[in-house]
Structure 1
Amino acid sequence: MRWFILVLLVFSVSTTYAHNQLVVDIMSSENFSQRYNEFLDGRSPLDVQDFHPTTKGSHIEIIEMVLLQQALFLGGETREVVFNPKPSVNIIEFTDMIAGDSLILARSVWHEDIINYRGSLFVSDAVVEFGDYEAGLYVAKRNVALQNLPKEQLDQLTVVANPRWRVDWRALNNTPINIVSFIGPWETMLNMVETDIVDAMLVNFSVSSDLLLNFEGREYVPIQNLKMMLPDSRHFIVSKRHPQGEQIFAALNRGLKILKARGILRKALMQSGFINHLVTDWQFINEDMMATAGVVQ
């Protein structure tokens, strides 16, 4: 009888603890969890006020994990967030969320990628506004000749791109660049640059002080003084079919409005290097698309 009571108590405590957690899905194919813990360095995500990068590689994914928790807390959702790595979660697949099996993702997504699913997904206020997402044309560092390619010679450049990445694809198609279509891992695309199958790949700017991208010992740099605007906004999404969807979405959007009003959202994007001050004066390749800024809702 004593063992039965003990088991019952343990089950009760475990159940209560689970109810006090909010499960947020994240991609298991990336080392986001490791880099996230390194960035926090023992801090609570709710206490983070300095968003400068402490790890190599793109930093926006880590910052969004922090901003999501701060927004939820400010919006009234005080449960502990627990990240749940899921192999099925990637940039363009939202099957589990549409079905209601997943509640929320830990990173923002392009508005264009989820516009056809708005009947099944709540879409938050913009985390990244239209016009704020900038990227460079990264070439192999050893390819010195391409590093200072003038804008007038972009019609000689070959750039690998995945047509399923619709925002990147649309941006590149509004330039004289020659696009090489490839559907596959981005690591393979970088390898195509390394092996001279193509000249370059469109990548959001590195957080390093010289914009250098180092991947598995291979180094890439952006073509100097040229950048591209990716023409869309990015948003958090919440499942409408999940039992907690409406409640979580309301808290999230309330919190995002507070973060924006306090200037924290903009501060985080700038300090993290996502809005990169090193390329402020660089010339847009697709400047004509800037005319549509603000149209996406």
Structure 2
Amino acid sequence: MRIFITVLLFCFTLPSIAFSSETITIAIERNALERIQALSEILNVPIDKLEQIPDVKINRTTADVIILLRSLRMGGISSPIEYIEVPNARRSTAEVARGRAVLCSQQLNEDTIAVPGYKDAFLVSAPITRYGEFQKGFYTLLENTELLTARSATEINQRGKGIIGQHWNNDKQVLQNMGITNVIDAPTFDCMVKMLNAGRADWIPLEIATTQDFSKVLNGIRLIPIPGIKFSLLESRHFFVSRKHPRGKEIYGALQKGIKELRKRGFIHKILTQAGVFNPRTDSWTILNAEEMKKGK
């Protein structure tokens, strides 16, 4: 089955673009699109035809796309997939809200759509990552030895400046509630990494890698987490479906059916573990906001 890729170039306004009702239009960020293209080439199979978890290294956004497409196929949707490239999660939800795309490619928390005009724009799937499951570490450069010895939220706040995505609203709120206020934001993930490497920030909150030393290499820059500590985002994450899209309700029903079956089979937990969203090797690490996490359950 062919997979179509549509690249949208945005200026001050969004153009009116019509997509075939025979295809499933999915809004996706460039980095995620490039990764699934690369994975498809490595496996020599279209991503929407994957039936098993690939035995290669993947990240969260790739796992999200696989879960999404597998759910749709299991729910009975056989239409071709068409991707709309967007710069960030905010533009992704804007495309879905307008009905230009029927789905966002990644799971997001419900605060993402708590904005004016979005109240009746979305159908929200069953949770993919359930409340409290999405946890992050504090990633920094190897030479930032003082920050790497931090053991509390107070010490992190005192020893370095964090950087998050411009629309990472829940990260920002959770960090503030922990007393971590020394944080700035950036418009794109690539920009965040560049600013960290340039010394304009000291750490980024990221899901903990499955590598032996938990390190990540991003844009050629090696980052490691502060050992032994992490935090929970205190949220559940979902796929968003457009109410305005002609096939929105149909897609939503199929998606829910597929998610239920994948959850039953253990597929979701397995692939998110492989992607590093869940990391059993950090189960003993201290969750800095553990008490708040327990209150929400």
Tell me the residue number matched to 2:188.
185
Question: For 2:242, which of 235, 239, 243 is the aligned residue?
Answer: 239
Summarize the Cα distance change of 1:43–1:186 in structure 2 as closer, same or farther, 3 Å threshold.
Answer: closer
Give the counterpart letter for 1:109 in structure 2.
L
Summarize the Cα distance change of 1:186–1:153 in structure 2 as closer, same or farther, 3 Å threshold.
Answer: same
Tell me the residue number matched to 1:101.
100
Summarize the Cα distance change of 1:37–1:147 in structure 2 as closer, same or farther, 3 Å threshold.
Answer: same
Give the Cα separation in 1 of the matches to 2:283 and 2:241: 33
Contact 1:51-1:272 at 8 Å conserved across structures: no
Give the Cα separation in 1 of the matches to 2:224 and 2:147: 10
Give the counterpart letter for 2:204 in structure 1.
M
**Cα deviation digits, residues 212-270 of structure 1 (max 9, x gap):** 11123221100000101112111111111111111110110111111112222122212
Give the counterpart letter for 1:23 in structure 2.
T
Summarize the Cα distance change of 1:159–1:91 in structure 2 as closer, same or farther, 3 Å threshold.
Answer: same
Give the counterpart letter for 1:26 in structure 2.
I
Give the Cα separation in 2 of the matches to 1:64 and 1:248: 16
1:101: Cα distance to partner?
1.8
Tell me the residue number matched to 1:255.
258
Contact 1:149-1:223 at 8 Å conserved across structures: yes
Contact 2:25-2:100 at 8 Å conserved across structures: no
Contact 1:156-1:178 at 8 Å conserved across structures: no
Summarize the Cα distance change of 1:156–1:44 in structure 2 as closer, same or farther, 3 Å threshold.
Answer: closer
Gap regions ≥5 residues in structure 1 = 1-17
**Cα deviation digits, residues 154-177 of structure 1 (max 9, x gap):** 342332234631111011112233
Give the counterpart letter for 1:92 in structure 2.
R
Summarize the Cα distance change of 1:124–1:39 in structure 2 as closer, same or farther, 3 Å threshold.
Answer: farther
How many residues get paired? 272
Give the counterpart letter for 2:95 in structure 1.
D
Greater shift, 160-169 or 63-72, is seen at 160-169
1:270 aligns with 2:273: yes
Give the Cα separation in 2 of the matches to 1:268 and 1:279: 17
**Cα deviation digits, residues 124-147 of structure 1 (max 9, x gap):** 001111111111111111223322
Contact 1:51-1:271 at 8 Å conserved across structures: no
TM-score (norm 2): 0.82
TM-score (norm 1): 0.82
Give the Cα separation in 2 of the matches to 1:45 and 1:279: 31
Give the Cα separation in 1 of the matches to 2:282 and 2:41: 27
Give the Cα separation in 1 of the matches to 2:185 and 2:240: 27
Summarize the Cα distance change of 1:223–1:52 in structure 2 as closer, same or farther, 3 Å threshold.
Answer: farther
1:293: Cα distance to partner?
3.2
Please, what is the CA RMSD of the aligned residues?
2.4
Contact 2:47-2:66 at 8 Å conserved across structures: no
Tell me the residue number matched to 2:110.
111
Summarize the Cα distance change of 1:79–1:211 in structure 2 as closer, same or farther, 3 Å threshold.
Answer: same
Contact 1:128-1:235 at 8 Å conserved across structures: yes
Matched position secondary structure for 2:127: strand
Tell me the residue number matched to 2:9.
none
Give the Cα separation in 2 of the matches to 1:44 and 1:140: 33
Matched position secondary structure for 1:250: helix
Give the Cα separation in 2 of the matches to 1:212 and 1:145: 18
Alignment of 1:178-217 (within 5 A): 178-217=181-220
Tell me the residue number matched to 2:40.
37
Summarize the Cα distance change of 1:265–1:278 in structure 2 as closer, same or farther, 3 Å threshold.
Answer: same
Identity %, equivalent residues: 22
Summarize the Cα distance change of 1:44–1:164 in structure 2 as closer, same or farther, 3 Å threshold.
Answer: closer
1:123 aligns with 2:105: no
Gap regions ≥5 residues in structure 2 = 1-19
1:281 aligns with 2:284: yes
Give the Cα separation in 2 of the matches to 1:134 and 1:124: 21
Give the Cα separation in 1 of the matches to 2:85 and 2:257: 27
Give the Cα separation in 2 of the matches to 1:280 and 1:208: 15
Contact 1:98-1:120 at 8 Å conserved across structures: yes
Matched position secondary structure for 2:111: helix
Larger Rg: 1
Give the Cα separation in 2 of the matches to 1:244 and 1:221: 43
Alignment of 1:93-172 (within 5 A): 93=91, 94-116=93-115, 117-151=118-152, 153-157=155-159, 158-162=161-165, 164-172=167-175
